[in-house]
């Protein structure tokens, strides 16, 4: 095919398309001209002044009646609020779900920790025969002297411990026996009436009591299981119960008789836990607080829950090494765990300002979940 033939064919095929396109553009221009002419005749051209805003039509963006603006504003606000509510609900649900996962994970770590401790305790008083109290009189008196020595040794740790050491110097020794307490002091060695009663609970009656160590208000007595326990664990637990005895017998505080679910009751428990932490730290030459502070620094926690969730199996092993708790039974170790978690939370809250309301929330959260 020659060039002449090629260009002839190309011209014959493209010329009709060119004509069609040219005619289409002429028609478009004609339509625009007619539309503009019509608008001009109707007084509605692009340069016509808008009666609402005073601008030319080509600059005016249109106007909406006031009621329509109100409806649109309400719809937009409603949509915005709905999105906010849905977002907050989702965040709340997601946070709760993650917290439950972390609670379950932490509880599993604590359970594994307890399983490594002996399932049985070493008791120095296994049973009681009221007819043979003289046989273990020397042993119980020795334990009581040690208890009094602990009170005086840690009596200067804080202002509260100073008050405890001042008011509880003498103790009245008794032994629990099926709902009653028997005094085992000799007649010529009976302590003054203001002496605090220390009632030791033997092994065969341990199940009759709610805890290994507690203050029994109706008896005005400290109820202590006669189980072997290292001093760094026993001394803090002893001072915890002495706080309750102090508020009940000396201060006559309302918190001492408040219902267990009240803020007053919980506030006294928090005070006792904080003193317990001070005694434990003193008994370990400040190693306890150093460990807690290292844990909090490592965790980067923003609240007490995040701080407690940061606890690992290695942390529990380290606490055992610091306190000598690796020789304790599961029953005593569980008390140590409760204190450990409480102190982690309390130290974190104190970093944030130490609000009592948040400490009360911590206590109830621990009771509920652990």
Q: Give the Cα separation of 249 and 167 in Å (integer).
A: 10
Give the tokens for residue 288: 């306890």
Least trusted range by pLDDT, from 14-18, 75-79, 205-209, 245-249: 14-18
Task: Tell me which of 352 and 14 has the higher pLDDT.
Answer: 352
Q: What is the pLDDT of residue 52?
A: 67
Q: Give the Cα separation of 326 and 213 in Å (integer).
A: 19
pLDDT, tens digit, 9 for 90 and up, residues 113-125: 999 998 888 888 8
CB within 8 Å of 343: residues ≥ 6 apart: 273, 277, 280, 288, 292
Q: 366, 342 in Cβ contact below 8 A?
A: yes
Q: What is the pLDDT of residue 34?
A: 47
- pLDDT category at 28 given cuts 50, 70, 90 is low
Evaluated on CA atoms 296, 300, 303, 309, the torsion sign reads negative
Q: What is the pLDDT of residue 274?
A: 97
pLDDT, tens digit, 9 for 90 and up, residues 124-157: 888 877 666 666 777 878 888 899 999 999 999 9
φ, ψ of residue 59 in degrees (nearest 5): -105, -15
Q: 203, 175 in Cβ contact below 8 A?
A: no
Nearest alpha-carbon partner for 206 in 119, 127, 282? 127
Give yes or no for residue 25 having a pLDDT over 80: no
Q: Would you tell me the crossing angle of helices 263-283 and 231-245 to the nearest 10 degrees?
A: 150
Q: What is the pLDDT of residue 24?
A: 53
Q: Give the Cα separation of 99 and 93 in Å (integer).
A: 10
Q: Give the Cα separation of 355 and 278 in Å (integer).
A: 19
Task: Tell me which of 126 and 250 has the higher pLDDT.
Answer: 250
- pLDDT category at 184 given cuts 50, 70, 90 is confident
Q: Give the Cα separation of 329 and 294 in Å (integer).
A: 27
Percentage with pLDDT > 90 across the chain: 54
Q: What is the pLDDT of residue 37?
A: 47
**What pTM was estimated for this model as a whole?**
0.76
């Amino acid at each position: 095919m020659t060039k002449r033939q090629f260009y002839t064919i190309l011209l014959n095929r493209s010329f009709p398309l060119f004509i069609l396109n040219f005619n289409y553009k002429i028609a478009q221009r004609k339509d625009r001209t007619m539309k503009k002419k019509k608008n001009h005749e109707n007084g509605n051209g692009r340069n016509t002044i808008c009666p609402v805003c005073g601008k030319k039509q080509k600059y005016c963006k249109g106007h909406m009646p006031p009621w329509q603006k109100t409806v649109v504003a309400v719809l937009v606000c409603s949509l915005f609020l709905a999105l906010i509510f849905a977002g907050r609900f989702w965040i709340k649900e997601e946070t709760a779900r993650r917290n439950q996962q972390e609670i379950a994970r932490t509880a599993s770590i604590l359970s594994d920790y307890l399983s490594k401790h002996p399932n049985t305790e070493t008791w120095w008083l296994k049973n009681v025969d009221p007819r043979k109290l003289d046989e273990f009189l020397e042993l119980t008196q020795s334990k009581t002297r040690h208890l009094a020595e602990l009170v005086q040794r840690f009596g200067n740790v804080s202002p509260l411990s100073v008050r405890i050491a001042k008011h509880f110097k003498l103790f009245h020794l008794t032994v629990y026996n099926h709902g009653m307490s028997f005094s085992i002091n000799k007649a010529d060695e009976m302590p003054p009436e203001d002496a605090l009663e220390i009632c030791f609970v033997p092994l065969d009656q341990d199940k009759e009591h709610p805890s290994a160590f507690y203050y029994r208000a109706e008896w005005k007595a400290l109820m202590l299981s006669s189980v072997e326990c290292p001093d760094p664990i026993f001394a803090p637990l002893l001072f915890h119960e002495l706080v309750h005895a102090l508020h009940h017998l000396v201060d006559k505080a309302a918190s001492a008789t408040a219902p267990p679910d009240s803020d007053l009751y919980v506030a006294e428990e928090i005070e006792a836990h904080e003193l317990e932490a001070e005694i434990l730290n003193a008994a370990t030459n400040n190693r306890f607080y150093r460990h807690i502070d290292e844990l909090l620094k490592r965790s980067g926690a923003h609240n007490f829950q995040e701080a407690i969730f940061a606890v690992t199996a290695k942390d529990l092993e380290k606490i055992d090494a610091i306190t000598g708790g690796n020789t304790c039974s599961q029953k005593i170790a569980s008390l140590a765990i409760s204190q450990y978690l409480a102190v982690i939370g309390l130290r974190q809250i104190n970093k944030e300002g130490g609000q009592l309301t948040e400490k009360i929330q911590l206590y109830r959260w621990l009771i509920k979940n652990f």
